[in-house]
Chains A and B, each alone.
Chain A
Amino acid sequence: MDIFQFIIPFSEISLDRKSVLRDIGYPDEESAKDIIHIYDIIAGQAEKETEIKAGFIIFEQNVSLNNNCLIFGDHKFLTGQVINNQLNKIEVFALFAATIGIDFDKWSSSLFEKDPAAGFIADIIGSSIVESAADWIESKINNYFSEKGMGCTNRFSPGYCGWPVTDQKIFFSLLPENFCGITLTESCLMIPKKSVSGIIGAGKHAIKKDYQCKICNMENCFKRKQH
C-alpha cells in the first residue's frame, strides 16, 4: 500500500478574491466594494496562520460495487447510488485528506470574537484554501494514476452526494494515525475543522464526470453553489 504525505507551500494554493466573494454571496466585486479592503487584510494574514498538509493512500485490492456500496477486502463504504454511478469503471482507488492546520481554526475563531465580519471572511477564506489543497492533492493523484495508464473519477467525500458522514470512521481507520495531523471526533467531525477527506477512483476506463447536483438532496452543498 503506497502512502504519500506532502506539505503544500502557500504559493501553490489558489486563493482567488472573486471566487471567495462569490462564495459569500456577492455577485461581483463591485457589489463587495465596501468590504474588499477587509478581505485583502485577512487574505494577507491567512498565509502565516496556515500549515497546509495533504496526502493519499492507494488501495489496489479488488473493488466491487454492490447494493450502493463500495466493497474492498473486509471493508465496505455506503457510498450510495449517486457516487457508485460515477465510480462504476474503477479498478483501484485512493483515499486522500487535506488540511490547513489547527492554528487557522484558532485564529479565525478569535478574530470572530473581536471583529465578526473579519472572522466570517476568514472562515470562508479557510474553506477556499482547503478546497484548493484538495485540488492540489487530486492533481497529484491524477498524475500518479496517469503514469500507470489509468484515468480518474471526480473526488467524493463522506457527508456529500448521499455518502453518510458516519463512514468517516471506517475511512480514518484505513489511514495511519494522525494522518496529515487530522483526527476524527466521536461525531465524525474532522479536527482541524478546515479539513477535507475523500476518495478518487481510477481505472483504464475510469473518467471524470460532472457532479450530479440535480439528483442530490443536499441543498446547501458548496458543490451545488459552484456548478
Chain B
Amino acid sequence: MNEILEKLAYCIERGKIDKNSNYPKDLAGHDGASELTRTALELSIPANDILKNALMIGMNRIGEKFGQGRAFIPELLLSAKAMNAAMSHLKIYFDNGEATYRGTFIVGTVAGDLHDIGKNIVKMVLEGDGWKVIDLGVDVKTEQFINALNQNPDGFIGMSALLTTTMINMEKIVTDIKIIHPKVKIFVGGAPLSTDFSRRIGADGYFPDPHEFTKYLQGIL
C-alpha cells in the first residue's frame, strides 16, 4: 500500500484525529488523519482510493480489535472521529460523485424515547464504515422515518429504544413503514431488545454492538 495511505490507515486505527490532538500519546505532535488526507489529495490520490485503501482499512482494523476484546467503545469512537476528520476533506468528492458511499442509513431513537448515546455510537461507526447517515434524532415518529425514506428510497433504517415502554412502539413503526416501503431493511438496537424481539416485530435484525452490525451490513451488500 502507498506509504501515505498506510500512515492514514494507522491514524484511523489509532484514533489520531489531527496534529493538535493529544490522543494517542505516542503520536503526539505527528500529523493525524486530517493532515494526511489533505496530503493524499495533494498527491492526486483519488478520493475513492483514500476511502477504500486507507480509511476503511483503519476502521476495519479497529473493528477487528473491538470484536476480539482488544479495543472498546472509546477507542472505536476515537477512530470514528478521526475518520470524520478525514471525510470532511472528501465531502466535495462525494458531492460530485467522484467518491461513493456504501449506502444511506437513516437512524433515530423511537417516539417517546430520548436516549441517544447508543444511536449516536452506531451513527459514528456507520459513518466510519463509509455510510451516509441521516440522523433523525430522538423521539422520532413513524412519519419522520417514512419521509426520510421517501427522500432516500434505497436507504436502510436503524431505530433504537432503551425503554421497555418505547420498544413496544417499534412493532407498529416497523409495520407502518413496511406497508409503504415493503423492501426496506429495518434494524433495531437498544439494551432491552433481543434477536427474538426483532423477529417478532418484523424487523430485519438486532445487533448488540456496532462492529457486529457493520460486519453484517458489509456481508449483505
Contact = CB atoms under 8 A, between A and B. Distances in A.
A166 interface: yes
A149 interface: no
Interface string A191-227: 1010000000000000000000000001111000000
A34 interface: yes
B63 to A, nearest CB: 15
Nearest to A39: B74
Given A117-B78, A121-B74, A220-B191, A188 B120 contact: no
Contacts of B116: 109
B72 A26 contact: yes
A189 B74 contact: no
B54 interface: no
B87 to A, nearest CB: 14
Nearest to A21: B72
Contacts of A9: none
B145 to A, nearest CB: 17
A189 B75 contact: no
A37 B74 CA distance: 12
B25 interface: yes
B25 A37 contact: yes
A185 B81 contact: no
A26 to B, nearest CB: 6
A13 interface: no
Interface stretch (B42-50, B162-170, B175-183): B162-170
Contacts of A218: 192
B44 to A, nearest CB: 32
A191 B116 CA distance: 14
A34 B23 contact: yes
Contacts of A123: 117
Contact of B117 (A112, A166, A185, A189): A112
A170 interface: no
B115 interface: yes
A122 B75 CA distance: 15
B3 to A, nearest CB: 24
B163 A159 contact: yes
Given A24-B72, A159-B163, A116 B192 contact: no
B76 to A, nearest CB: 8
B164 A165 contact: yes
B73 A120 contact: yes
Nearest to B192: A218
A74 interface: no
A174 interface: no
Contacts of B124: 116
Contacts of A116: 77-78, 80-81, 120-121, 124
B46 to A, nearest CB: 29
A218 B70 CA distance: 26
Contacts of A117: 15, 73-75, 77-78, 81
Contacts of A220: 191-192, 208
A159 B70 CA distance: 32
Contacts of B73: 24-25, 117, 120
A3 interface: no
B201 interface: no
B29 interface: no
A186 interface: yes
B164 A186 contact: no
Contacts of B191: 220-221
Interface of A: 24-27, 31-32, 34-35, 37-38, 109, 112, 115-117, 119-121, 123, 159, 164-166, 185-189, 191, 193, 218-221
Given A117-B81, A220-B192, 7 more contacts: A25-B69, A25-B72, A35-B23, A116-B77, A116-B124, A120-B77, A189-B113
Interface of B: 15, 22-25, 69-70, 72-75, 77-78, 80-81, 112-117, 120-121, 124, 163-166, 191-192, 194, 208
Q: For the complex of A and B, list the 3 residue pairs with the smallest distance between their C-beta atoms, beginning with the closest.
A: A187-B112, A116-B77, A117-B77
10 contacts: A35-B74, A112-B117, A117-B74, A119-B117, A121-B74, A159-B163, A165-B163, A185-B112, A188-B163, A220-B192
